Amino acid sequence: MHLLLRRAIPPALKRVAPYTKISLRGYRLPTRSTSMAEENIKYLVRVKGGPLEVAKAPKPTDLASNDVLIRLKAVAINPADTKMIDEGHRVTSYPFVPGLDGSGIIEATGDAVERIKVSDEMIGLFQSNDRSGSFQTFAIVDEQKVTKKPPSWAFEEAATLGVCYATAIAALGIGLKTPLPFIIDGPRTGLVPSYILVLGGSSALGAAVIQLLRLALPDSTVFATSSPKHHTHIVNTLGAHRAFDRSSSSLVEDVKRGTPASQGLDAIVDVVGAGTSDIFEAFNPNGPKRYAQVWTGEDKIQTPEDVDSVLFRSRDLSQLQGGDNIMLSLQTLLEDGRYKLPLPVNNVGQGFEALQKALDLMRMGVSGEKLVVTF
Ligand SMILES: NC(=O)c1ccc[n+]([C@@H]2O[C@H](COP(=O)([O-])OP(=O)(O)OC[C@H]3O[C@@H](n4cnc5c(N)ncnc54)[C@H](OP(=O)(O)O)[C@@H]3O)[C@@H](O)[C@H]2O)c1
């Protein structure tokens, strides 16, 4: 593998059509020729906090028997991407290829793969490393980590599903410990809170949690907080019963008034690390007081002693009953139209520059949308 292109592209080069082979002051771009099309263009980071760089490698061929090779068509940006690139969060070795979300076309399959065929259009759950990061032309993942893209969904839309869906399963199954009736061989018993508040309903994770709560607990009432501009989406599209202004000074009182006799909540799912001491006053004093908080990479949020606080994260899914089946289960939900696009897509553009721009946008913070880049 060798370096092709560093962060800044000279202005003269930007005017040239993409994929035209050219040499200018030492910079080169790949061509569209057949042989070059088999190259793996990687967007990688060499040192902690270092810039994203472009490099090329041969198309990978070292598939294990349960692996699939995916040609990426679109990737979505997650907060974890910038935490990994900028702070080295959970990065074990360098150089590493970031990227946890993506969609694309199956290029090759391992010997034991039967469910998936070459040319299938897939949604994937990727891992930030040289082999499985989604910020490259070709990535290898286990077949359990992919699900078929519905034909009517654009690759850009499909790319946004994986991480927030998987982490939402962890929120319900590990954080709340609710039944998961839509997961093949998933838990069928567990906590059934009557009133649940999702802190961060307009985040990608919150949008997934709200939908899955409605599927898992159809008789429960789901509230969510966000900026007011997202309330219509949260209620009308995602299915929450009510949305509350996250900045309201009367949030606790407003939420409690939404429950019978103002008794309060049974559970809170905090997907953005928004738990403050006053929100715990919204709990029903006689309820389970379950507080499921996502691991954001920051310190765990401290809670009053009588609050049942549980940290959840997607990497613990292997501990969950049916955890290996979550992507196969997503396929059924999508085919039945029971799981919707969580958030509107902001397609930032194509290729390296768009990827850099999308990461910068993520660093500034997003509101109720998913940033996507096409390859
Ligand atoms: N450990 C894991 O496995 C894992 C997996 C996935 C995500 N995460 C973490 O979970 C968090 C959320 O991820 P994401 O992708 O869903 O983030 P995101 O979509 O980028 O989150 C942006 C949203 O957060 C909302 N928000 C920010 N502060 C809020 C507050 N105090 N109250 C309510 N809403 C608030 C904003 O709402 P408004 O614009 O409406 O104000 C905005 O829509 C991140 O910290 C991420 O790293 C962890």
Q: How far is the CA of 365 from the centre of ligand 1 (A)?
A: 9
Q: Is the CB of 160 under 6 A from ligand 1?
A: no
- Does pLDDT of 33 surpass 80? no
CB 227 within 8 A of CB 247: yes
Fold of 164-319: Quinone Oxidoreductase; Chain A, domain 1 (3.90.180)
Q: For the chain, what is the mean pLDDT?
A: 91
pLDDT band of residue 19 (cuts 50, 70, 90) is very low
Of the candidates 72, 143, 138, 133, the one whose C-alpha atom is nearest the C-alpha of residue 110 is 143
- Does pLDDT of 38 surpass 90? no
- Does pLDDT of 137 surpass 70? yes
Q: How far is the CA of 316 from the centre of ligand 1 (A)?
A: 19
Of the candidates 374, 359, 331, 342, the one whose C-alpha atom is nearest the C-alpha of residue 161 is 342
- Over residues 136-163, mean pLDDT: 98
The ligand 1 atom at the shortest distance from the C-alpha of residue 274 is 31
Q: Is the CB of 294 under 6 A from ligand 1?
A: yes
Residue length of the chain: 375
Q: What superfamily does domain 2-160+344-374 belong to in CATH?
A: Medium-chain alcohol dehydrogenases, catalytic domain (3.90.180.10)
Q: Is the CB of 367 under 6 A from ligand 1?
A: yes
Q: How far is the CA of 229 from the centre of ligand 1 (A)?
A: 16
- Over residues 90-117, mean pLDDT: 96
- Per domain, the residue ranges of the chain are 2-160+344-374, 164-319
In this prediction, residue 368 carries a pLDDT of 98
The ligand 1 atom at the shortest distance from the C-alpha of residue 315 is 3
- Does pLDDT of 145 surpass 50? yes
In this prediction, residue 337 carries a pLDDT of 96
| Least confident residue range of 19-33, 145-159, 170-184, 288-302 | 19-33
The ligand 1 atom at the shortest distance from the C-alpha of residue 225 is 33
- Give the pLDDT confidence of 251-301 residue by residue, as tens digits: 999 999 999 999 999 999 999 999 887 999 999 999 999 999 999 988 899
